[in-house]
Amino acid sequence: MIGDRIDFISEYCDRRCERCAFTNRCSAYACQVAIEMCDGDIAAGIELAVGQPQPVGGEKEQTVGQQLMEEFEQHPPSQQDLDAWEREEKARRNRIKKNPLTQIADTYIAIALAWTKDHADRTRSQAETAVSDALDTIQWDLFLIGAKLRRALDGRDRRDEWDDDPIQNDWNGSAKVALISLARSADAWRMVAEMADNFGAEVAVDAIARLRSAAMQEFPDAMRFKRPGFDDVAHAGDDGRIC
């Protein structure tokens, strides 16, 4: 219905909508606003934001999701198939949990969470605006980084099911978002660590540097992924920074 929307742009962003120049071209943002306008009614909000145009004088067209649901209802999987799927998913979750990158990410998150919980408010009250902005970045990216890295590992584990392009695939796209967030969070931590009373922020600086290095080694082609919309106007260098 709206021709200038960018497909999948929200899949590879950091969800800081208030700082984004593409909100007017993002279906996810349109849905968010529309749901609020519809007093929290998700179905009504989505239809308001991205609902399909109805054919004149015809019946409502069936969506792909509705078609898949009908096929599922007509040919439901057997209990044996469901059990096999659950075993496969459990094995995948265990592989991702044991991956060294996941463990390094969990270590960084634990260190950063502990520091921000104990010191962020006090540091913010005493700091200049630039340091306060750095703390905002650290706290915003804290869980985003871990989530995107897990999604990248999960997507790569499913590579035969989804993507066959060596560069333009979901795991590289997810890893790129994580790497960009890691780069700016690393800069933010260094700014905090330069304060006279940084309460041991150097530990987080070391932890995020280790995580960033591990992520780049794990997904060496991630920065070559072209994110819809964003990378049409900005280029991300190999070090993960937007330039």
Amino acid 161: pLDDT: 57
Question: CA–CA distance from 36 to each of 1, 30, 46, 164, 190 (Å)?
Answer: 20, 10, 11, 38, 38
Amino acid 150: pLDDT: 97
Q: Which stretch of DSSP H or E encloses residue 220?
A: none
Q: Is 107 left (phi over 0), alpha (psi -120 to 50) or beta?
A: alpha
| Sequential DSSP letters for 86-127 | HHHHHHHHHHHHHSHHHHHHHHHHHHHHHHIIIIIHHHHHHS
**Beta-carbon neighbour count of residue 66 at 10 Å?**
11
Domain 96-233 grouped into CATH 3.30.230? no
Question: Amino acid identity, residue 59?
Answer: E
Taking the domains of the chain in order of start, what are their residue ranges?
9-74, 96-233
Amino acid 133: pLDDT: 95
Phi, psi of 128 (to 5 degrees): -80, 175
What is the pLDDT tens value at each position of the chain, 243 positions in all? 456 889 889 999 998 999 899 999 998 999 999 899 998 988 888 888 877 655 555 566 666 667 767 877 888 888 998 999 999 999 999 999 999 999 999 999 999 999 999 999 999 988 889 999 999 999 999 999 999 999 999 999 988 655 678 999 999 999 999 999 999 999 999 999 999 889 999 999 999 999 999 999 999 999 999 999 999 865 444 444 443
Distance CA 119, CA 126 (A): 11
What torsion, rounded to 10 degrees, do the Cα atoms 125, 127, 132, 138 define?
-100
